[in-house]
Chain A
Amino acid sequence: MDETVKKYTTRKEFFKQYKKKSRLQETWNRFLRNKLAVIGLFIFIFIMLAAVAAPLIANYDTDAITINVPNRLQSPSAGHIFGTDELGRDIMARIVHGARISLVVGFAAVALALFIGGALGAIAGYFGGKIDEVIMRCMDVFLCLPDVLLALAIVAAFGTNLVNMTIAIGLSFTPKFSRVVRSAVMTVRGIEYVEAARAIGANNTQIITNHVLINCFGPIVVQVTLYVASAILTISALSFIGLGIQAPIPEWGNMLASGRVYMRDHAYIVMAPGLAIFVTILSLNLLGDGLRDALDPRLK
């Protein structure tokens, strides 16, 4: 023991000698073994890249917005990979720009829901008792309303712009997140190492941050991916019925709505946005499932 003390005088040196086995690495390896999940990941990364690179792929103004009637309803060709819509706009351009909107609103809404719902759920789950009752009954009120309806109400009252949509969808998901976080926290709260933390003198804040929350990540991360999918679907649904993103801003849902009339003879006009929605949701679900399996504490 004394020899050791002489060899490594600082903990840094000692840690360099004996490295931590990265749990992240192990989880990542497990994830990689699930082929479907990896496919989902790739597809999703592809969609993200397309969204990020949208301005490089197609100019927003000239291709996606500017009406070009002579060019209307062209079938897919070399110039227009997905064809043109009823107003002559390049569908592919509209798809990739639409992707931006879907993804940004989707993630932002879920982030909002996670922040508010997560905090409420964690407090309810950790403290229990009356605090739990009060918070959960409030959440129940919101849970009674279907997501779309709640988002609809907010949007109808405050107007249909991107920020409102984000807030609307975010608020409608808040109660769901609160439940997920609450149950994760309640599970962890009952495990002995939390009691052990109290025994060594940690206070509630320290326990929640050091012990409870970091052990809740698994189920929360999985829910995030699945709810992002749900949020994107909700945005599209709202836009489809005209209460979401308004024309001429490209959004998959409103593209479906305006293209519906031409479906019979020009199927491509709805297929592109329809497929975009489908593929995005699918990839997120595969990703979410894969994450759930990879994060599964099969460890002893």
Chain B
Amino acid sequence: MVGPRRQTSGSHGQEGVPVTLIIEAVILGILTGSVYALMSSGLTLIFGVMDIINIAQGILVILGAYLSYTLEKYLHIDIMLGLLVTIPTLFLLGMGIEWAFMRRIRRDRVMISILVTFAVALVIEGLLNFIFTANYVQLQAPYVDATIPVFGFYLPYIYVFAFILSVVLLTLLYFLVYRTKFGFGLRASMQDRTAAALIGIDVERVQTITFGIGVALAAAGGMVFGATSPFNAATSYDLISRLLVIIVLGGMGSLRGALFASIGMLIISDVTDVVWSPVWASTVFFALLIVLLLFRPRGLYGRLEGRKQ
């Protein structure tokens, strides 16, 4: 996500960077990091419960953004309000995908699921290209351009709203996973699918709902993504690669890891953006993963052992 910076044209020398720019980068990193946390939580949750790497998460985020775009442009529904439509829609779509495809995978879940979700992503990408063409669009709302002054720079309201939205949704997710009966079943299925089924948890139902939730989070993330940067269907490749790096860095299947990794990564890449050069921001993002994996192959909070099937 590209921040609302006014001075990114030239690459800055180490000494020439004002402190306010770095503070701005850190704040933006935290704010946008929370949105990435939202998108990657969906991904890591799906992996944790189902052993499925959902490559389609990137394009589903874009689909969420396009849904908000359509609602805003043709029905004039505010993009924040539109979430009340897009989140349930993608929730149902997610459950549909799980029911139609994921459930049919009987063997070799990890490998086959990557291919199946990639195929789903290709179909959605083709549809989006067909309907919306490859032109870049961006979501519009009064608060996308309006700004408030913070520490000597101007922060668009959308970043603040996005942060609040992410905190609310992540808190809801936390309560759902750790404080409800459904969450109990979800965590049980994460630990041991067979044992969970033995104590009477409907693992298939848990999986379907989890996939729905994971995809629904993409809708919320997509709205913010679409409001803060221009997008088309092909943007999803960049997005999914970042999300995958985040969940590996955090430890696959760990919600806490996804949160810390998102915010950490976004702060680092935003700071790199201002102190070094925008073109290196993403590279640092990926290089950091390699460095971490050298010392800790399972990520920050990953489980040491694979789950027993």
Is the A/B pair a real complex?
no
Chain A residues within CB distance 8 Å of chain B? none
